[in-house]
Amino acid sequence: MAAERFDLVVLGAGSAGIAMAVRSARHGARVAVVEPGPLGGTCVNVGCVPKKAMWLAAELAEAQQLAREVGFDSAPGALHWPRFIERRSGYIDNIHASYRKRFDELGIELIAGRGRFLAANRIAAGERELAAGHVLVATGARSHREAIPGGELGIDSDGFFALRACPRRVAIVGSGYIAVELAGVLRALGAEVVVFARGDRLLRAFDHDLGEGLAQAMQARGIGLAFGRATAQVTRTASGHALRFADGSVEQGFDELIWATGRDPVTDGLGLDVAGVALDAKGFVATDEWQDTNVPNVHAVGDVTARLALTPVAIAASRRLADRVFGGKADAKLDYANVPTVVFSHPPIGTVGLSEESARAQHGDAVKVYRTSFRPMLTALAHGEERTRMKLVCVGDDERILGIHLLGIAADEMLQGFAVALKMGARKADLDATVAIHPTSAEELVLM
């Protein structure tokens, strides 16, 4: 059977794959996308989108408590999980439909199945063989599980989204953004939650003030934090999951155990070795700054690479790659510096640029830090104690802003505009010269 010819074959229909396919097709390329699962990959189906939906539900649960505190005559009620999940699923179904419509409009061929390389420019997709001018590997990543006895007894973030009721007592193993996000959601929705971390702090990749501040806020909400706990074994008893740690201690009685210990690239079964595509030491597809692999015309974007594992990063990198390969923009590539990101914890975190530690490692005593801490208005009205924290990391006599770090109500929404300012090279004096919007939490960033 003769191979069908395409300008671009995309392996994976997640955020990176869809963005590359759509932008390339708009440039006139003939595109095929090979995907064994639902459109949208991790983000749409078991990541950003359903996570944000659950976070919003948790926010409403907390808002009920605040409403009662400030004088509303209403009793907080529990979330009806099946009803909410029906809404969540309907929202995701609409995203799937929008992708399919866009593919149809642009003539992108969607092939259900797992693609694999037969050669650097030939892909097997089920019974079909595709000849490709370019190939994009965008197969993403999957949850990592600890290789310990009983590790299979727990669930991962995918399993969290399959829950149809709130567990009574939950153990979460991990200290990164997935661990703290799921902990906050489950606690707000009524679960008793304990987070077990191998290290000595939360969110080690973030500025230390953010991790420390979030730990305090989580503990104030009743979330247990246990540091220095390396999980060695899991068993299931009549009272629930029991976790044995490397130090010999045991914690038990958990209805659910959730692994949040990182993610591994999905590269198995792709035939990358057949094509000669190199992997890095951790098994990610190795790419240069142009998203190119070591094999000509084979590219990789998204979580299958060791780049920032963020949906907007994958989309932006793919679009620029498409502009370069099919749009005639020879210099198009993504600048990975100063990418803003949000952790949908309770309270949320917004951060962009260098942490204080990284800034001092690069610039030493030229770094100057500004901090503020305050109770936002709603918290104060409810006689709450939780504080919003803000931090600016600056360098040099002109105090160019290197990092902006926020923890508190609405941090997720207020960061975007300040990230633009940082990307443009804003100085502390630029913030000082900006008139504050009062009364808001965001005004504190220009009043420090």
Give the sign of the dihedral formed by CA 140, CA 142, CA 146, CA 147.
negative
Residue 146 contacts residue 198 (beta carbons within 8 Å): no
Report the pLDDT averaged over residues 239-253.
96
Strand ranges, E, within 354-418: 367-374, 388-395, 400-407
Report the pLDDT averaged over residues 407-424.
98
Nearest to 405, CA basis, from 338, 345, 348, 355: 355
Q: Are strands 128-137 and 122-125 parallel, antiparallel or unpaired?
A: antiparallel
Q: What does the DSSP assignment read for 274-328?
A: HHT--B-TTSPBP--TTSB-SSTTEEE-STTSSS---HHHHHHHHHHHHHHHHSS
Q: Rounded to an integer, what distance in angstroms lies between the CA atom of residue 86 and that of residue 128? A: 36
What phi, psi does 434 have (nearest 5°)?
A: -90, 130
pLDDT at 1: 62
pTM assigned to the model: 0.96
Nearest to 206, CA basis, from 356, 7, 323: 356
Nearest to 127, CA basis, from 111, 145, 150: 111
Peptide bond into 50 cis (omega under 30): no
With b for 16 or more beta-carbon neighbours within 10 A and e for fewer, the 175-209 pattern comes to bbbbbbbbbbbbbbbebbbbbbbbeeebbeebbeb
152 CB-near residues (< 8 Å, 6+ apart)? 145
pLDDT at 76: 87
Domain 151-261 CATH superfamily: FAD/NAD(P)-binding domain (3.50.50.60)
DSSP 74: -
CA of residue 9 relative to chain centroid, distance = 26
pLDDT at 340: 98
Nearest to 180, CA basis, from 12, 25, 55, 363: 55
pLDDT tens string 330-389: 999 999 999 999 999 999 999 999 999 999 999 999 999 999 999 999 999 999 999 999
Q: In this structure, what token pair is assigned to residue 9?
A: 């074959």
pLDDT at 96: 98
Confidence check: pLDDT of 428 > 70: yes
Q: Rounded to an integer, what distance in angstroms lies between the CA atom of residue 181 and that of residue 52? A: 10
pLDDT tens string 73-131: 988 899 999 999 999 999 999 999 999 999 999 999 999 999 999 999 999 998 999 99
Q: Is 299 among the catalytic positions?
A: no
> What is the CATH architecture of 4-143+264-326?
3-Layer(bba) Sandwich (3.50)
Q: Quick one: angle between helices 177-188 and 208-220, nearest 10?
A: 20
pLDDT tens string 261-300: 999 999 999 999 999 999 999 999 999 999 999 999 999 9
Confidence check: pLDDT of 53 > 90: yes
DSSP 7: E
Active-site entry in 27, 96, 405, 438: 438
Q: Rounded to an integer, what distance in angstroms lies between the CA atom of residue 279 and that of residue 409? A: 41
pLDDT at 43: 97
**Residue boundaries of the structural domains of the chain:** 4-143+264-326, 151-261, 347-446
Give residue for tokens 């006599």.
397
Confidence of residue 253 (pLDDT cuts 50, 70, 90): very high
Fold agreement between 4-143+264-326 and 347-446:
no
Report the pLDDT averaged over residues 179-191.
98
Report the pLDDT averaged over residues 36-51.
97
Residue 158 contacts residue 41 (beta carbons within 8 Å): no
At 392, the amino acid letter reads L
pLDDT at 344: 98
Peptide bond into 439 cis (omega under 30): yes
Average pLDDT score, the chain: 97
User: Hey, how many other C-beta atoms are within 10 angstroms of the C-beta on 217?
Assistant: 22
pLDDT tens string 403-413: 999 999 999 99
> What is the CATH architecture of 347-446?
2-Layer Sandwich (3.30)
Nearest to 399, CA basis, from 439, 370, 357, 364: 370
Compute the C-alpha angle 75/388/211, nearest 5°.
105
